[in-house]
C-alpha cells in the first residue's frame, strides 16, 4: 500500500516534527508514503480572502499533479491544506462552469484534472483505512497512564465535514484509548485556536489559547494532542506569553497526534522529532518509562 503525500508549507519549517513523525509512523506500519512532486501552496485562508478564483486554480494544480502521478488518495496533514483542497474538489464537482475555467487554466500549463483524487487527512486514513486493530497489533508500547486532551481544532472537521462530527469528533479518542491512553473530558476539542490571529490580533488569540490550555489542565490532561501545525505552534510556543498576560503558569506539552502514535509504535524520540518540541515534552514519555 502506498499513499501520495502533500506536506504543505508549514511542515517544511515550523511543523517539521509533524512531517518527521508522520513519516515515521507510516514507516513503522509498513505503509508507503510518497511526496507529491513539485507541489505548490494550497492558498490557505489568506489567498482566498484576496482572490478566491485564483486560490482555487492554484490549489487545483496540486490535484492535477496527484492524478497524473496515478494516485487515488492524497494525504494532507495540515488542516488548512486539507480544507482548501477538499473545498476545491467540491467547488469543481458542483460547478461545471468553474471546472471548465479551471481546466482551461490548467491546460495552459499542460495539466488536466478529472476529479479523480480524494483528499484525506492522515488521521482518517490511519483509523478508517488502516484500522485501529491493525495499529494496535503493531504497537510496541502501551500508552497506559497517559491522560491526553484530544484537540482536533476547527478545519479538519468543519466546514467540509470530512470524516467525523463537526463538534464532537471521536476518531482520535478511539485510536489512543485502544492503545491504552485515557482521553480526558475536553469539551473544547473543536474550539478554534485563533490561527493566524496570533500574528494580526495577538491579544484576541492569546485569550483563545489560554482557554484551551485552561480546559486541558483543569481536566487533568498531561498533554494536548493536536492534528494541525498551526494549532501546535499557537498552543505550544505562546504558553509563556499566555502565562505572562494572565498570571498563569501553564506548562502543557503539546504534541502532534503522530508523535504520540509513534511512541506507541516504538519509534525513537529522534525519529518523531520530539527534541524539536518547545514545551516540557518529556512528561508523556516519562509516564511511559515509569
List residues binding another protein (CB under 8 A): 9-10, 12-17, 38-41, 43-54, 57-58, 61, 91, 94-95, 97-98, 101, 104-106, 108-109, 111, 154-155, 158-159, 166-167, 190-192, 194-197, 199-201, 203-205, 207-208, 237-238, 275-278
Q: Which is nearer to another protein, 157 or 181 (CB)?
A: 157
10 Å Cβ neighbour count for 209? Answer: 26
Report the nearest approach of another protein to the CB of residue 204 (Å): 5
Contact at 8 Å (CB) between 17 and 47? no
Q: Nearest approach, Cβ of 94 to another protein (angstroms)?
A: 6
Between CA 263 and CA 175 the distance in angstroms is 13
Sign of the C-alpha dihedral computed for residues 262, 195, 37 and 74 taken in this order: positive
Q: Which residue's CB is nearer to another protein, number 50 or number 290?
A: 50
Cβ 19 to another protein shortest distance, Å: 11
Strand order in the sheet with 223-226: 182-183, 147-151, 223-226, 254-256
**C-alpha cell of residue 230:** 498551526
- For the bound state, the minimum distance from the C-beta of residue 166 to another protein, rounded and expressed in Å, comes to 5
Shortest Å distance, C-beta 31 to another protein: 25
Any idea what DSSP says for residue 165?
-
CB-nearer residue toward another protein: 126 or 262: 262
What is the helix (H) or strand (E) element at residue 34, kind and residue range? strand 32-35
Shorter beta-carbon distance to another protein: residue 262 or 273: 273
Query: Between 110 and 290, whose beta carbon lies closer to another protein?
Result: 110
- Strand 73-75 relative to strand 118-120: parallel, antiparallel, unpaired? parallel
- Closest approach, Cβ 191 to another protein, in A, equals 6
CB nearer to another protein: pick between 47 and 138: 47
Q: How far is CA 169 from CA 14, 16, 237, in A?
A: 26, 26, 25
Q: Collect all residues with Cβ–Cβ distance below 8 Å to 158 and sequence separation of at least 6.
A: 166, 190
Assess contact for 127 and 171: CB atoms under 8 A: yes
Amino acid at each position: 500500500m502506498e499513499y501520495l503525500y502533500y506536506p504543505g508549507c508549514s511542515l517544511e519549517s515550523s511543523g517539521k516534527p509533524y512531517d518527521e513523525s508522520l513519516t515515521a509512523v507510516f514507516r513503522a506500519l509498513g505503509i508507503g508514503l510518497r511526496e507529491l512532486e513539485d507541489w505548490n501552496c494550497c492558498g490557505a485562508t489568506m489567498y482566498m480572502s484576496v482572490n478566491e478564483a485564483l486560490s482555487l486554480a492554484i490549489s487545483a494544480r496540486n490535484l492535477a499533479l496527484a492524478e497524473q502521478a496515478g494516485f487515488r488518495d492524497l494525504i494532507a496533514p495540515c488542516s488548512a491544506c486539507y480544507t482548501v483542497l477538499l473545498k476545491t474538489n467540491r467547488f469543481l464537482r458542483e460547478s461545471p462552469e468553474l471546472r471548465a475555467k479551471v481546466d482551461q487554466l490548467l491546460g495552459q500549463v499542460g495539466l488536466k484534472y478529472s476529479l479523480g483524487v480524494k483528499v484525506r487527512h492522515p488521521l482518517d486514513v490511519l483509523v478508517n483505512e488502516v484500522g485501529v486493530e491493525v495499529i494496535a497489533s503493531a504497537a510496541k508500547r502501551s500508552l497506559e497512564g497517559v491522560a491526553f486532551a484530544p484537540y482536533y481544532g476547527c478545519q479538519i472537521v468543519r466546514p467540509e465535514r470530512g470524516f467525523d462530527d463537526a463538534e464532537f469528533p471521536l476518531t482520535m479518542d478511539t485510536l489512543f484509548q485502544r492503545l491504552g491512553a485515557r482521553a480526558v473530558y475536553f469539551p473544547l476539542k473543536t474550539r478554534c485556536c485563533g490561527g493566524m490571529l496570533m500574528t494580526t490580533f495577538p491579544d484576541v488569540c492569546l485569550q483563545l489559547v489560554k482557554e484551551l490550555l485552561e480546559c486541558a489542565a483543569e481536566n487533568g490532561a498531561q498533554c494536548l494532542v493536536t492534528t494541525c501545525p498551526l494549532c501546535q505552534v499557537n498552543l505550544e510556543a505562546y504558553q509563556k506569553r499566555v502565562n505572562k498576560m494572565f498570571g498563569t503558569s501553564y506548562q502543557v506539552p503539546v504534541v502532534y497526534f503522530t508523535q504520540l502514535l509513534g511512541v506507541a509504535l516504538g519509534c525513537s524520540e529522534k525519529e518523531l522529532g520530539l527534541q524539536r518540541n518547545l514545551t516540557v515534552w518529556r512528561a508523556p514519555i516519562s509516564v511511559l518509562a515509569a
